Amino acid sequence: MSMSSLEMGFTVEATSGKARATRFTTAHGEVETPLFMPVGTLGTVKAVGPDELRALGARIVLGNTYHLWQRPGLDVVAAHGGLHGFMRWDGPILTDSGGYQVFSLRALSTITDEGVAFRSHLDGAPLHLTPETSMAIQAQLGSDIAMAFDHVPPAGAPRALHEEALGRTTRWAARCKEAPRSTVNPGQLRFGIVQGGTHLDLRERHLGEIGALGFDGYALGGLAVGETPDEMYRVLDAVADRLPRDRPRYLMGVGTPRDIVTAIGAGIDLFDCVMPTRNARNGQLFTDEGRLAIANARFKTDAQPIDPACRCATCAGGFTRAYLAHLFRSGEILYHRLATVHNLHYYLDLVRRAREAIRADRYREFAGAFADVGC
């Protein structure tokens, strides 16, 4: 049976306006929020290993149901006792449901109430993903948090499609709740996902439907899919604090530092996004003063660290902007590691500072410092 909120040990430890600092327990350890989850799509957070993630302060990482199903395959992961053993990460893991891949491959897919038929991005093989399949894959992976399978429409989709998608997501969520529990990780939690696009009345309706199913946590999906930041912030302001107060709240696939600071202020607890790792590889480094484009000519002879105030291993280790610019221009692999370490540290330290501000009941002042920062 599902862990109840009491068994999760979920507590709200402090609030500051709508922002909250919470704590809950998973089968592989305790989670304090607000918290950012580095994305490890294929069982690895790109360019860094498990020990580095722990040193950076990561407490939970995200794996991808669809991609791990396709490569290396569930039999390979099972031979290692599940995803934790396969990737040598002993902390909590959240797995998405494959719903986003349905969104990204929608031009090649057919969606019905039964599930989604599409073709593998690897070899074109026909695939069929249903709520039961998604939950079975996540059960075999043995993640600590399994997401319910959902239908994600693109931004700008007609209202009728959003209505169709949220109704289907509710029906799929009920089937996910009925799917057999994981034997690899009997304490696996299940989170439901609220859809509705930027239509506030649809969001409210769907929140009532998904909330009534009694999940262990709740997520807002269908954001950061093409709408403007202001549209996303409007949804967050109206909906985030209406998610159940006695469960973790998760905003999927978001986002920039400003997005995260805004969402925490609206009442969100958990985040994931590829931005810190992807932007690092593409030459963008995050600081409180905005993003540095390391390929810029002005950094060619700059002997400062990325951020003189940063205590990550890259900045504190004496690696300069000039050195990173040289590595980036030269295509050296070391650049990816040093830049990724810095960006992940920035995101993880950002949510750590947010927790401190909430506990001191000064979150409004903390968030105000990001109002004019271009990140």
What gap in Å lies between CA 237 and CA 231, rounded to an integer? 10
SS3 label, residue 308: coil
* Active-site pick, 51, 96, 241, 288: 96
Q: Is 210 exposed, middle or buried (0-12, 13-18, 19+ CB in 10 A)?
A: buried
* Active-site pick, 150, 269, 272, 307: 272
Q: Please confirm whether the linkage preceding 34 is cis (ω < 30° from 0).
A: yes
Query: Residue 362 corresponds to which tokens in the numbers above?
Result: 């000064």
Known catalytic residue: 269?
Answer: no
First to last CA, the chain: 43
Known catalytic residue: 123?
Answer: no
Instruction: Specify whether the CB–CB gap between 344 and 58 falls below 8 A.
Output: yes
Instruction: Specify whether the CB–CB gap between 9 and 217 falls below 8 A.
Output: no
Query: Residue 347 corresponds to which tokens in the numbers above?
Result: 């995101």
DSSP 312-357: SHHHHTT--HHHHHHHHHHT-HHHHHHHHHHHHHHHHHHHHHHHHH
Strand partners, 33: 22
Q: What are phi and psi of 276, to 5 degrees?
A: -60, -35
Q: Which are the catalytic amino acids?
A: 96, 272
